Amino acid sequence: MKIATFNINGIKARHQALVDWLKEAEPDVALLQEIKSVDEAFPRELFEELGYQVETHGQKSFNGVAILSKLPLEDVTRGLPGDDSDEQARWIEATVVGVRAVRLCGLYLPNGNPVEFDDTGAPLEGGKYAYKLNWMARMKARAEELLATEEPVVMAGDYNIIPQDEDAAKPEAWRGDALALPQSRAAFREILNLGFTEAFRARVQGPGHYSFWDYQAGAWQKNNGIRIDHLLLSPRAADLMREVGIDKEIRGRDKPSDHVPVWIELDA
């Protein structure tokens, strides 16, 4: 079972690029972020023609996540538990049924910028960075629930987290950014330490591996990138992992997203 995560940065602008990549890479499941579309406007026919079942959790102009699957999907749920007042479309879950059933979570973790702190040094209540950390606390709680099922679980998406300095071409440029602050990295490690495996780093070590390049200042041409798109695997899912990769080359194509797909293959 090949599972990919891909922040497409707008389905309207990049549906053809997405279709082309799907035809080429042939993932069984693609977890999408930043579709920037309400559910009714998502061009599902384009993907159904390729044999994908389409499930979306959309939002007008912002955010939005989706699952495209060639395999049956069951028990689809939308929204991260823990805050009924949160209207941002950033989380979708489903069980994909292959040789084995795997619980999938597609996520678009908040960016968190601008970073604002109060006089005590705590994230400013109501600010974007406080929302990011609170969202991650809710994600940790959900991850604990999922681990308790003892099923294979994959939590994949745009985490907006640079886990370590080696995950940025210029780590010094990100010191004060919400993606690399110590509190952000600590919250990410807390989720990993529950028992999850970060798929890419389980197989590939060292610097120079990125999944995002800004559109400005020739970042792609200079390979000035960061690695913020991750797949976290529960122990049972990690035992099934065969391969992992980043489809870096599509960043150089016509009308690309600022992200590229990251994928794993499971024995499932």
Q: Tell me which residues are annotated as active site.
A: 108, 158
* CA–CA separation, 75 and 205 (whole Å): 35
Q: Is 60 left (phi over 0), alpha (psi -120 to 50) or beta?
A: beta
* CA–CA separation, 189 and 90 (whole Å): 20
* CA–CA separation, 234 and 237 (whole Å): 5
* CA–CA separation, 252 and 259 (whole Å): 11
Contact 116, 127 (CB under 8 A): yes
Question: Which of the 8 DSSP states describes residue 150?
Answer: T
* CA–CA separation, 115 and 14 (whole Å): 30
Contacts of 81 (CB under 8 A, 6+ apart): 138, 141, 142
| Angle, vertex CA 67, rays to CA 214 and CA 127, nearest 5 | 50
